[in-house]
Amino acid sequence: MRHATLLLACAAVLFCAACDGDGITSADQPGATSVDRPEQAPSLSAAGKSGCYAVKGAISETGVFPSFAGTVTGDLIGTSETTLSFDLRFTGAVIHNPGERMLTITGGTVPELMGETLHETFDGLSAFRAGPLIRINGSSRIDQGAQRGNLTTHGYLDQRPFPWEVELTYHGVICP
């Protein structure tokens, strides 16, 4: 009976680990198609009467440290250029990597941002796991191109292809 209880407890732990929100799912992996991920509907909603907008979407880039470039889609449409700082700090398997990103907006659901270049400064956290995927979490402040704004990003850097591929989702609030 004791072995059956231990076996049941181990099975529950393995099941919960497989369901962990930080685990890699097929929808999170770079190269996933729209069939693998839920459709991202525009979220043009004003934050009260502030004139600010909640935004969400995806950033896809390729490159090699410290420079990456690609596209931004969703509520903000355009191009993205990211430069990571050489001021990296390591804490075990976690890297604190500050940097900056320029989003040149050519479309999307916030008309006031059309033709603007948003400059973000961010402090990213990257976590190494077994395998070629590196988990990325970041928060950024928009300090040029809009009155103010903050974005949060989550995703992966895939080191299998060369140049490397970065797939991020973003969400936040921008005040044009």
As a whole number of angstroms, the distance between CA 122 and CA 171 comes to 14
In contact, 103 and 78? CB cutoff 8 Å: yes
- pTM for this structure? 0.73
Total number of domains constituting the chain: 1
Mean pLDDT of all residues in 12-30: 36
pLDDT in the model for residue 131: 75
Host domain of residue 123 = 2-175
As a whole number of angstroms, the distance between CA 58 and CA 36 comes to 14
Q: What is the pLDDT of residues 111-153, one digit of tens each?
A: 999 999 999 999 899 987 767 899 999 999 999 999 999 999 9
pLDDT in the model for residue 48: 61
